[in-house]
Every structure is written in C-alpha cells, then in structure tokens.
Amino acid sequence: MLFNVPQFLDIEDKIVGPLTAKQLGWLALGGVVILALFNYLDNQALILASLIVGVIFGGLAFYRPYNQPLVTFISSSIYFILRPKVYIWRRFSDNIKRAAKISQKKSEKIIEKKKDRQRIESISSILDKR
C-alpha cells in the first residue's frame, strides 16, 4: 500500500489569500485599535496614530527576524535583558592544580602497567622453567 506522507509541516496554512491565521489576527487587532482611536482622536492625531499602529501591527504580522515571529523575538529579548546573568570566574591556580592531578593519575596508571608487565614476565619465566 502507498500512503501520502505530509510535507512542509512547518509552513502555516493560508486562510485568506496569502495571509495566515496569525497574520490575519494581528491585522484585525490593529484595525480594532485604530477603530477605537477613531472615537477619541481628531483627524490629524488619528492619521498619525493610525500610521504608528499600522507599522507596529504590520511588523507583528509580517516581520520575522532570524526566521521567528516578532513577538517571540521581542519576548526573548526582554527575558534576556531581565534575567540575571551569572559569570563564573575560575582562578588560574585552580586550573594548574587540576592539570597536576590529571598528570599524576596518568603517571600512576603507567606505573601500574609497568608493575603488571613485570609480574607477567616473572610468572612466564617461572612457567618456562617448569
């Protein structure tokens, strides 16, 4: 049997023309904000506020920095700024001590190998004599 395997799972479905559901939602929310401003502002202030709101919600709908939605990018930026940063400083002498311990362990292993080899040689010489 042959089965159809879905492809392009990471691409959102287009709802209205070339717009996805998220883009349509952002644009509709921007329209609602502009409609609310229409009731409170006069013509000149409404035009200026409409441009600002249009740019903000248009950016939220269409702009994708580093191939991620602008909302995710902004929330990650805010989280990065507000989160405390932890810097760990290690003294140079600690690294020297650690390196000395590692080299000491290696030398101990080499000595053990030599002892094992001597033991094997002595056992083999005893067996050869018999």
Token pair, residue 86, equals: 């932890």
pTM: 0.58
Distance CA 31, CA 53 (A): 9
Torsion of Cα atoms, 26 then 32 then 34 then 36, to 10°: -150
pLDDT at 91: 61
pLDDT in tens, 79-112: 999 988 887 766 666 667 777 778 777 777 777 7
pLDDT at 92: 64
Domain with 119, as residue range(s), is 90-130
Where residue 30 falls among pLDDT bands split at 50, 70, 90?
very high
pLDDT at 32: 97
**Residue found by looking up tokens 């006069």 in the block:** 42
Residue 3 lies in a domain: no
Q: Are residues 21 and 76 in the same domain?
A: yes
Q: Distance between terminal CA atoms of the chain?
A: 73
Residue 49 lies in a domain: yes
Q: Are residues 119 and 59 in the same domain?
A: no
Q: Are residues 72 and 20 in the same domain?
A: yes
Distance CA 65, CA 97 (A): 46
Q: Are residues 113 and 73 in the same domain?
A: no
Assign 16 to helix, strand or coil: strand
